[in-house]
Each structure stands twice: as C-alpha cells, then as structure tokens.
Amino acid sequence: MGNLLVDERDVEFVLHEQLCVEDLCKTEKYKDFTKQDFDMVIEEARKLAVNVLLPTREKGDREGCKYENGKVTVPECFHEAFRLYKEGGWITPTEDPEIGGQGLPFTIFAPIEEYCAAANGALGGYAMLTHGAAKLIEIYGTEEQKKKYMERMYSGEWAGTMCLTEPGAGSDVGATKTIAKKNEDGTYTIMGTKSFITAGEHNLTKNIIHPVLARIQGAPPGTKGISLFLVPKIRVNEDGSLGEDNDVFCSGIEHKLGINGSATTTLNFGDNGRCIGELLGGENEGMKIMFHMMNEARLGVGLQSLGQASSAYLNAVAYAKERLQGASIMSMKDPNAPQVPIINHPDVRRMLLWMKSYVEGMRAFAYYIAYCEDKEVTAKDENEREKYADYIALFTPVCKAFFSDMSFYIIKEAIQVYGGYGYCSEYPVEQLLRDNKIASLYEGANGIQALDLVARKLGMKKGGVLMNFLTDMNSFIEANKSNETLKSYIEGFEKAKNSLAEVSMHFGQIARGPDFIIPIINAYPYLEVFGMVALGWMLLWQATIADKKLKEIMAKEGALDQESIRKLISGNKDAAFYSGKIAAAKFYANTVLPTVISKVRAIKSGDKSVVEIAEESFAS
C-alpha cells in the first residue's frame, strides 16, 4: 500500500476510467493540457500532502494556537508548510493564468484538495479561505481592489477570511448587527463583533483581508439589507505598502474539540471607531456575493470530509492487516488455533467494506460535482451550461451535509476497527474524528443544508433540475440492466432511485397543503436518501467499468474458474482493484440501498411527533 491518505489508484480510476477527464482537453478552455499534465500535478500534490502537510497534522493538534494580547500564534510547523504550499502555487490551480493561476480543470483540483485535507484539514483552512476571499474580489471587485488585494492574496502573501457569524447571528445570517457608516470619501466605518472567524488573526501572513457582512445604516431588515465590505487588518497605502492598523482587534480564540491548529477567533471591528472598510459590489448585495464564497466553501467542506474519511479508512485497513487478535472463525473449536490478523474476521471486514463503499462513492460523487463545474464552463450551448450549473446548486447541500456526517461515521468505524487503540492519541484516527466534527457545523449547519435542499433546490425550475438528475440515472439503468454480472444490483439501485423519485414527488404534492410541515420535518432524512442514491449511482457506474476491465484481464490471463480468478487477484494489482470495486458496489446495493426504501417509507408515514411533542415533554 502506498500513502495512507488517499488511494492513488482510485483517484486514477475516477478521473480517467470513469469521468474520462482527458476529454476535457478537447475543449478550447483546456486545450493546452494533456493527461500527463494532470497526472504530474496530482503526483506533486500527493508529495506535498505526504511530505510537507502530513508531518504537521499531529504536531499542529498538540501545539494548537496561542492567544496573547490580541495576537494569535499558529503552530510553529505551519509556517514552513504554508510557505511551501503558497510558493508551489497551490492556492490557485484553477485560476486564470492571466492572474497568476494555472487554469487547471476543477476536476483536477478535487483530488488536490482531497489530498491536502486528508493530510491536514486545520492547515488547509488558511489557504482555502484565502482563496475564497480572493475569488470574491476577482468576481465582484473593482480593478483597484483587485490590484490592491486580490493578487497578494492569490499569491499567499496575505490571507483572507469570511466574516458572517456573530454571537446573535449564526444560522440566521439575516440577524447581522455589524454596522457600516458611509464616510465622505466613499469608504465605510465598520462597527461590530464577529465570532467563530476562522483564521481571523494569525502570524502566517503580514496582512489579513476580511470580507465582512454588515448593515449599512438605514438598510432594510433581514438578508436584503446586508452588504459586504473588505476590511484589511492593516490598512494598505496607495503605493501598496502597509499603513497603520485598521482597528480590528482579536479579543480571543475558542478552545475546541478539534482543528486545534486552526485559529477560531472573535474579532472586534471598530472598538475605537477607526475601522475602515471598502464596499465590495453594490450596496445590499452582500448575501448574494457572499453566497459565492459559501458555495465554494461548502463543496470544500465536502472534499475536506472525504479526505479525512479516506485517511481514516486507509489507516484502518493497514491496521487490520497487522493486528493479531483472535483465531479464525473457521477454527473456532481449536483452542490452539493461532491468532490471525483481524482483517480475517467477518465483522471487521463488514466495517471495512462499508467504509470502502462510502469513501469511494463519495470520492466519485465529489469529483463528479467538480466535473460538472468543468462541463459548465466548457458547455457547447446555454442548455448544457444551465444543466450543469443547476446540478452544482442541487448537489452542493448534499456534498456538504451528507459527506460531513458520513465521514464522521466512517472515522468512528475506523476507531472501532482499531479497538481500544483507536481511542488513544497514539494512533491518528482519534484526531481525525475530532478534526472532522466541525464539518457538519460550519458553512451552514447540516440541518440548514437539508432545508436548502428541500425548500430551495428541489423546486428549482419546477422540479426540472431533479428530473434531469433522475433522467441521467434512468439512462444509466437502461444502458446497463442487461449486464449479466451486475443485473440484480442494478435492479436494486433502480428501486432505490424510484423511491427517491417517489418521495420527491410526494413532497411536491404536499408542499402547499396542510402537510407542508412533513418535508420540513424530514428535510434531513430526505437529504440522506438523496445522498445514498447518488452514491449508489456512482458505485454501480464504477462497477460496470470495473466488470468490463476485470473480464478483459481474466480473458487475457486465461483465468476462468474461481480458483484461478482468486490467484489472479492475489498477483495482479489491477485485477485486485477492479474486483474490489465490484465488491463495494455489490455490498452497497445489497445492504445499503434497501434501507433507502425503508427510510422513504418512514418519511411517507407522515409522522409529526417532532412538532407535536410539547417542549415540556422533552426532559423533566
């Protein structure tokens, strides 16, 4: 086995055998690239993750961030790693070469992000936020703002943040209290407190540029009256040099369950009335603009979750192959039977295969979403462009919420495979679990994501976006249902997909009636059903490819009976890989997908206990 972060062979499979990313090189936008370029970029990302970022994972956790007199110090080892990260150009792989990026496809960015998150999610956050904030300026900023801020953020010389949350405005961003007063010179004086701001203050860079949501005095209430401001930690002079500090004070950092190397700060803007911000975009357009960053960050959280789950899974497999404990179930009656590696025990294999199917299903779906971004920007016509843009909107809450929760379960299962040792900090799975938990909370708690899916995304184009998704899955089923080996699993998938269609339709029918609360109550279970079906599609799609390739290898090597196939798999890496893909899809179709049907039945039962139960009755 190679690195314990991301399965290199699986990345190769998704990119080249499933999505055929090389075809993107036929488009005008990506015509300068070849498969060789993509492979080399991913290989370098792997090296960076394994050799530079991973060694900082545990150290960063143990050392944590330190706060003193308004200043935050990050773990010492983060400095060199961040330097190599930014100097390697890893903040801007997909940006236009004109502004210092490499113009790579998003589909290639996905594995880069997965590797980095798997190696050290806490450190990755500094770069991810810097990118996201710079992107806002790229899209909505004036030429002057781009020159002043964006270039130096994309190069990693300065960092960025996103400042939404306030003590009284978490999920409810519309409750933002931070105020902006217009000054005569067109700038604004900012006053307010933001909480939980990741990377709000640190010593990795000389300056930090905060995009801050605030309300211009007299603006309408709620999200409609929110504007976005660029607030530098240190003011920037006309000539680009750093001026005086901008009255942004970090009044403390949180002490948390995980991501201890990531500074979670409280920021006071304008304690002394001297905090100056520049409007980004138009007045009262703050939410619309910030959503761009939030959507990027939500997909980022999905990839981050995937990376952590992937690392936990690979560690668990490696451990299970080495840990000797208990005799084989086949020699149960023999008291002298030797201990075997725990990977021989059916229950351990059950955990591992369950993890494998989810990790690989999530990887495929995450890369597929990134691929949709490439399809969007290389579309032949408006119809095609719109289809993929809508897909991204539909899939974003699923990628964020389903992946973050599933990854937590996967890491939990990895700890289970380790037994008592997994619970201890000597092994990496314990930290992965702690670091991962935040994924279900920030960038919009998962409950909010589920509401976004049900209340906003399902109704897009009168349900037409979901219909497109169902149609794509139908075409897949049609094309493959006569596959002899996979037929019964594809039938299982079809049933689950029909259940998803059925419950979606059901929601549509009751949305305007007295039972409108049912979709709201069941938003999260629905999101799970959606995620499970989407992963089912990915896994079966992969299985059809793997089945074909495995058969080709078998024919070439003359392996026809079970025994020679077994032998082939033990000596031929590709045969082992493809056979593993088929096993994961089969397991998922037989044991996971049937639960979709029962979940849908539960949703359709119309149970309203959660709203019926009186508050007084929850606990005495």
Ligand X SMILES: Cc1cc2nc3c(=O)[nH]c(=O)nc-3n(C[C@H](O)[C@H](O)[C@H](O)COP(=O)(O)OP(=O)(O)OC[C@H]3O[C@@H](n4cnc5c(N)ncnc54)[C@H](O)[C@@H]3O)c2cc1C
Catalytic residues: 443
What region, left, alpha or beta, does residue 419 occupy, with left being phi > 0 and alpha being psi -120 to 50 degrees?
Answer: left
Select from other proteins, ligand X, none the partner in contact with residue 590, using the beta carbon and a kind-dependent cut-off of 5 to 8 Å. none
Q: Are 163 and 320 in contact (CB under 8 A)?
A: no
Residue 37 binds which of ligand X, other proteins, none (CB < 5-8 A, kind-dependent): other proteins
Q: Is 202 in the site for ligand X (CB under 6 A)?
A: no
Q: Binding to other proteins by residue 570, rule CB under 8 A?
A: no
CB 75 within 8 A of CB 4: no
Q: How far is the CB of 346 from ligand X (least distance, A)?
A: 7
Among 25, 84, 234, 583, binds other proteins (CB under 8 A): 84
Binders of other proteins in range 21-40 (CB under 8 A): 36-37, 39-40
Interaction between residue 448 and ligand X (CB under 6 A): yes
Which option in ligand X, other proteins, none does residue 423 bind, with CB closer than 5 to 8 A by kind?
ligand X
At residue 70, φ and ψ (nearest 5 deg) are 85, -5
Q: Which stretch binds other proteins (CB under 8 A): 61-69, 87-95, 384-392, 598-606?
A: 87-95
- Nearest CA-CA partner of 500 in 474, 455, 520, 470: 470
**Of residues 249-268, which lie at the interface with ligand X (CB under 6 A)?**
256, 264
Q: At what angle do helices 487-510 and 464-480 cross, to 10 degrees?
A: 160
Q: Does residue 441 interact with ligand X by CB under 6 A?
A: yes
Under rule CB under 6 A, residue 164 binds ligand X? yes
Q: In whole angstroms, how far apart are CA 388 and each of 36, 296, 364, 374?
A: 26, 15, 16, 9
Interface with ligand X includes 438 (CB under 6 A)?
yes
* Burial class, 241, CB count within 10 angstroms (exposed 0-12 / middle 13-18 / buried 19+): exposed
Closest distance between other proteins and the C-beta of residue 40, in Å? 6
Give the residue, chosen from 89, 170, 174, 463, that forms a contact with other proteins under the rule CB under 8 A: 89
User: Residue 314 touches which of other proteins, ligand X, none (CB < 5 to 8 A by kind)?
Assistant: none
Q: How far apart are CA 309 and CA 313, in angstroms?
A: 6
Cα dist from 149 to 160, 234, 282, 314, whole Å: 10, 12, 18, 40
Phi-psi region of 235 (alpha: psi -120 to 50; beta: other; left: phi over 0): beta
- Nearer to ligand X by Cβ, of 32 and 347: the residue is 347
Q: Specify which residues 250 forms β-bridges with.
A: 267
Of 353, 423, 427, 508, the one binding ligand X (CB under 6 A) is 423
**Residue 326 in the binding site for ligand X (CB under 6 A):** yes
Query: How many residues belong to the site for ligand X (CB under 6 A)?
Result: 32
Rule CB under 6 A: is residue 323 a binding residue for ligand X?
Answer: yes
573 binds other proteins (CB under 8 A): yes
The two structure tokens encoding residue 289 = 């603009």
Whole-angstrom Cα distance, residue 595 to residue 324?
A: 34
Which one, 37 or 515, has the nearer CB to other proteins?
A: 37
Site map 143..162 versus ligand X, x via CB under 6 A: ------------------xx
- Rounded to the nearest whole angstrom, what is the least distance from the CB of residue 418 to ligand X in the complex? 6
Give dist(CA 164, CA 214) in Å, integer.
8
Q: From ligand X, other proteins, none, which one binds at residue 88 (CB under 5 to 8 Å depending on kind)?
A: other proteins
- Nearer Cβ to ligand X (181/345): 345
Q: Which residues contact 467 (CB under 8 A, 6 or more apart)?
A: none
By CB under 8 A, the residues from 44 to 83 that bind other proteins are 44, 47-48, 51-52
d(CA 611, CA 608): 6
421 binds, among other proteins, ligand X, none (CB under 5 to 8 A by kind): ligand X
Residue 248 exposed, middle or buried by CB count within 10 Å (0-12, 13-18, 19+): buried
Complex with other proteins: residue 93 or 492, whichever CB lies closer: 93
**What is the C-alpha separation between 307 and 436, in angstroms, rounded?**
10
Residue 374 CB neighbours (<10 A): 24
Residue whose token pair is 């939990």: 412
Q: Minimal distance in Å, beta carbon 473 to other proteins?
A: 35
Q: Is 92 or 404 the residue whose CB approaches other proteins more closely?
A: 92
Using the rule CB under 6 A, which residue among 51, 183, 325, 425 binds ligand X? 325
Q: Tell me whether residue 72 or residue 163 sits nearer to ligand X (CB atom).
A: 163
Rounded to a whole number of angstroms, the minimum distance from the CB of residue 323 to ligand X is: 5
Concatenating the DSSP letter of every residue in 96-154 gives -GGGT-----HHHHHHHHHHHHHHHHHHHHHHHHHHHHHHHHHHH--HHHIIIIIHHHH
The identity of residue 117, as a single letter, is A
**Is residue 348 at the binding interface for ligand X, with CB under 6 A as the rule?**
yes
C-alpha angle 502-503-506 in degrees, rounded to nearest 5: 90
CA nearest neighbour of 524 among 612, 452, 441, 614? 452
**How far apart are CB 134 and other proteins at their closest, in Å?**
16
Binding site for other proteins (CB under 8 A): 2, 36-37, 39-41, 44, 47-48, 51-52, 84, 87-90, 92-93, 97, 102, 104, 572-574
Contacting residues toward ligand X, per CB under 6 A: 161-165, 170-171, 196-198, 256, 264, 323, 325-326, 342, 345, 347-348, 416-417, 419-421, 423, 438, 441-442, 444-445, 447-448
